[in-house]
């Protein structure tokens, strides 16, 4: 069975948590597409060759969440040949047998417009900033809540305003606002949406 779940949304809306939970629940493969550019960046060497030969081991590295990987990702993401190779990687992953869940910012609109299920996960900027701030340690975090909120709003403006594949819900995406939902409730709603589209 080939079955693709495309999940998009802004930072800290909960799309990663929901994506992993869906993959676990249905036994689908999961791909956090944001890690792809980081993996290419930290792999080193020729970025185009790195993108074209990206494998599971590259995505399993434990240094993909750090600042250096983030900066490397932004450098390689500007290379058209890298983007083309990673689009192909994502589309191949999406149609693998057994089902797949992909989360990112342009999955339902650009990468997998034909996905069987499309979700757009969102939450208010204030809630997303609070989640991010608490992840970083809350009052012990290096930045104030106000600084994190400013970063979240700036990232939203950048992602939604970019010319190439801006962040927006696909026309046929189900919207899931997690502002006032617990993780369990958000996951339950997502599971129900996927369940309703499964064949048989």
User: 139 lies in a domain?
Assistant: no
**Was 12 annotated as part of a binding site?**
yes
| CA–CA gap between residue 52 and residue 156 (Å, rounded) | 29
Give the 3-state DSSP-derived string for 70-104, with helices as H, strands as E and coil as C.
Answer: HHHHHHHCCCHHHHHHHHHHHHHHHCCCCCEEEEE
Find the helix packing angle between 67-76 and 34-43, rounded to 10°: 90
User: Would residue 144 count as lying in a domain?
Assistant: no
Structure tokens at 33: 């597409």
Residue 153 located in a structural domain? no
Q: How many CB atoms lie within 10 A of CB 1?
A: 9
Tokens of 167: 């962040």
- Is 23 within the bounds of a domain? yes
Model confidence at 40, in pLDDT bands (50, 70, 90)? very high
The reply to whether 17 sits in an annotated binding site is yes
Distance (Å, whole) CA 160 – CA 33: 17
Q: Residue 191: give the domain boundaries.
A: 4-123+170-197
Question: Is 115 a known ligand-binding residue?
Answer: no
Q: Report whether 118 belongs to an annotated binding site.
A: no
> Is 17 inside a domain boundary?
yes
Q: How many domains does one find in the chain? A: 1
9 is in an annotated binding site: yes
- On whether residue 40 sits in a domain, the answer given is yes
pLDDT digits (tens, 9 = 90+) for 95-137: 999 999 999 989 999 999 999 999 999 999 999 999 989 988 8
190 is in an annotated binding site: no
Instruction: Residue 29: give its domain's CATH number.
Output: 3.40.50.300
Q: What is the per-residue pLDDT across 57-95, written as a single tens digit (0 to 9) for each? A: 999 999 998 778 877 887 888 788 998 999 999 999 999
Is residue 175 in a domain?
A: yes
């Amino acid at each position: 069975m080939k079955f693709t779940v495309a999940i998009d949304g802004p930072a800290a809306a909960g799309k990663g948590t929901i994506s992993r939970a869906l993959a676990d629940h249905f036994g689908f493969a999961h791909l956090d597409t944001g890690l792809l550019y980081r993996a290419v960046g930290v792999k080193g060497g020729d970025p185009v060759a790195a993108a074209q030969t990206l494998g599971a081991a590259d995505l399993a590295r434990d240094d993909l969440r750090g600042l250096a990987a983030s900066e490397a990702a932004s450098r390689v993401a500007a290379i058209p040949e890298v983007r083309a190779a990673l689009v192909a990687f994502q589309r191949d992953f999406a149609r693998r047998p057994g089902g797949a869940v992909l989360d990112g910012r342009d999955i339902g609109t650009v990468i997998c417009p034909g996905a069987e299920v499309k979700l757009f996960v969102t939450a208010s900027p204030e809630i997303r900033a609070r989640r991010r701030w608490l992840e970083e340690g809350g009052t012990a975090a290096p930045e104030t809540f106000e600084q994190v909120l400013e970063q979240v709003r700036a990232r939203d403006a950048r992602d939604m305003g970019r010319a190439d594949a801006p962040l927006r819900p696909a026309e046929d995406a189900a919207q899931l606002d997690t502002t006032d939902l617990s993780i369990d409730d958000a996951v339950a709603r997502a599971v129900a949406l996927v369940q309703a589209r499964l064949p048989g």
